Amino acid sequence: MANLKEVRERIKSVISTQQITKAMKMVSAAKFRKAQQAIVQLRPYANKLSEMLANILSNLEGDAGTDYGKEREVNKVLIVVVTSNRGLCGAFNTNINKAALHTLEAKYADLYESGKVEMMFIGKKGYDFFRKRVSNVKFHTEHIDLFSDLSFDNVAKVSQQLMDAFTTGEYDKIEVGYGMFKNAAMQFPTMETFLPVPKVEADQDGSSEKAIKADYIFEPDKQSLLEYLVPSILKMQFHKYLLDTHASEHGARMTAMDKATENADELLKDLRIKYNKARQEAITRELSEIVGGAAALEG
């Protein structure tokens, strides 16, 4: 009977857990639709602006230019890690953190050893991961709760801070690690250079389709437009990083909770079979004891 009680308690526990995973799936599904709509609407606009910016900066002539596109010797780097605040979304956060860790230890190994790499965290899971694994790195956590308000104006304050830090020479390069959203089941951990603005480069044979001369008409003049246009595009690009990660988080959690619910169903089936077998064994044992006792009395 002790075995029966144990199995019965396990069944109750799995049913309770399954109710939680179902509820979390429904909550994430509701949030996911809104987050998906936001990134799907923004991405074509942001990608086209980024492409246009890279094209313009790759083909600047004369005295026109912008500080955001100037490449200089990399002596100090900032890595921005964008993750979620909560877990239970599969390997989503872990994949982003591993991509950032690989960049830190492989791409900037020398700067890392000499303490010339700093990290900024947006989302608590990134900070929790790195504070246990790396040393000799200065952490910035002042914007760790940025996901509480993803309005453009609020996010733009952070991107402006990063842009100011780059133009003043505080950092020579700023990279961002985030989750690129594709659909509810697929999210890709991505590392992108935020500053300086990456330029379009031709292939070795010069046949790259992207390496096309920018044929734009500037009004009132090229320099005035660059001073206004470049910061606006960079702020839009940084906003896209967060919306991508936000949609990816809820998609990953929805998928993870759906799988957990299915696994709970399979586990319940096995436990119920086990419970029925144990009950049958108990009944058979009791009947055997009764028959044996009756036979003993007759003898």
Q: Which residues are catalytic?
A: 89
* Encoded tokens for 134: 């790396």
DSSP state of 144: T
Sheet containing 77-82: order of strands: 138-140, 117-122, 77-82, 173-183, 186-195
- Phi, psi for 195 (deg, rounded to 5): -140, 140
Residue 140's nearest CA partner among 132, 149, 131 is 131
In angstroms, the CA 187 to CA 96 distance is 10
Quickly list H helices, 59-72: none
Strand partners, 117: 77
| Beta strand pairing call for 117-122 and 138-140 | parallel
